[in-house]
Structure 1
């Protein structure tokens, strides 16, 4: 079987998920060197709380102004890659183009960059950010669950798919300002079975963090349910 797969890769090399060029040494990601090189990891200096990268070269990590004046209800959040270029294209094709196979390379990129952070958090449970049932029917899948399934296998923590729920529909966040985003998701989530998360270390998972409003609201209701700690990871972080 291995020999057959190797022969097929030689005759019909896998294509890069982004540019569709042949990638003879595709590995698990199926990304060519050029597209991988165009993906920018979120790196220091950044805010150690919300994880937003600062637009400077060099320097040390330090809390951003927002986290100093209004600390979020989560302990820490990190994104793996800057939400731009090939990363943005892959996520858009995954979510809006229904290319669900892209959940694997996106999740593996996050695992590659965020494993040290997750090991430090040592989560007991992984909880995906939920979709409202109306949006779920429209899209057909919850992207956070699909990404979280891959992460859970690599990080060895169980994925709770239905404990955190979105109890009312919300407008798409993409066109809203930061204050509007916070108001849009206020009261939108609940914990169905608090006993499942009480006293546990929870890792929230989503595809993209822009202002952190959704993650913060999810963390707020998890705190009320009695979790011991809440951290969050996303594949991408908007600069």
Structure 2
């Protein structure tokens, strides 16, 4: 108790967003004011891709694109809307080398989507891989860091290297929605098919935008024998 108080004096806990002092920071280190600005993704939403519907009331149902062109994954869910403070946290984590931000993002995601994770009864967690060239440049894979936290919180094994990106792809952020699917087509491969055969997989990434990357990853895992793939991201472009 004394040691913890001393640590707080020497290194006062500050909110990751507004940098104000937090007397009782807990594990997430976000002040109450900033947490109120986070927008969780709740029902009603699409049962497959998880896109939220504009209506405040109603039941979950399939959206038009998922009815006409079902993706390879069984369901996708995001914890938060990719805007405001969440967008700032993700950008600093992903592009600003602030790797410590994987903890608040990971814990928020694990808490908000705990029910979804329990419902799908997954066998393991697999992060969306980076190409080795981008991994060398960035120094870390943000999906691996998030996946590690989710795997620990949900008590699931994490397979870091079994799903690989086998060819270079242009950053999806620079492409139009219609170009993204073609950009990642055939970009992934599974090293050990036996490790995923018959398994229910939670595929982890930081942000769901159009879903092209996770859909291609899910297709690759299904072709390798995975029973079902469920996508989890910290945030989603709504």
TM-score (norm 1): 0.97
Counterpart in the other structure of 1:81: 80
1:161 alignment counterpart: 160
CA RMSD of aligned residues (A): 1.1
1:75-224 correspondence runs (5 A): 75-224=74-223
Aligned to 1:54: 53
Check the 8 A contact 1:74/1:230 in 2, yes or no. Answer: yes
Give the Cα–Cα distance (whole angstroms) in 2 for the partners of residues 167 and 221 of structure 1.
Answer: 12
In structure 1, stretches of 5+ residues that fail to align are none
Query: 1:47-68 deviations in whole A, cap 9, x for unaligned?
Result: 0100111122112111111101
- 1:68 corresponds to which residue? 67
How big is each residue's C-alpha offset from its partner over 1:73-111, in whole Å with a ceiling of 9 and x where there is no partner?
000010000000111100100010000011111100001
After TM superposition, give the deviation of residue 7 of structure 1 in Å.
4.4
Tell me the alpha carbon deviations over residues 169-211 of structure 1, each in whole angstroms, 9 at most, x when there is no partner: 1111113222211111111101111111001111100000001
CA deviations 1:19-54 (Å, max 9, x no partner) are 111111111000011110100000111101001111
Aligned length: 238
SS class of match (1:130): coil
- Equivalent pair of 1:10/1:24 in contact (CA under 8 Å): no
Q: Which residue of 2 aligns with 1:17?
A: 16
Question: How far off its partner does 1:12 sit?
Answer: 5.4
Structure 1 segments, 4+ long, off by >6 Å, are: none
Contact 1:79 1:209 in 2 (8 A): yes
Give the corresponding residue for 1:228. Answer: 227
Residues 170 and 14 of structure 1, relative CA distance in 2, 3 Å threshold: same
SS at match of 2:117: helix
* Alpha-carbon contact 1:16-1:22 (below 8 Å) kept: yes
Once residues 13 and 191 of structure 1 are traced to their aligned partners in structure 2, the CA distance between those partners, rounded to angstroms, is: 44
Q: Is the CA contact (8 Å cut-off) linking 1:82 and 1:236 kept in structure 2?
A: yes
Map 1:16-55 → 2, pairs under 5 A: 16-55=15-54
User: Structure 2 CA distance, aligned partners of 1:167 and 1:78?
Assistant: 26
- How far residue 11 of structure 1 moved from its aligned partner, in angstroms, is 7.1
SS at match of 1:206: strand
Cα distance in 1 for residues equivalent to 2:187 and 2:55: 35
CA separation in 2, counterparts of 1:137 and 1:55?
Answer: 41
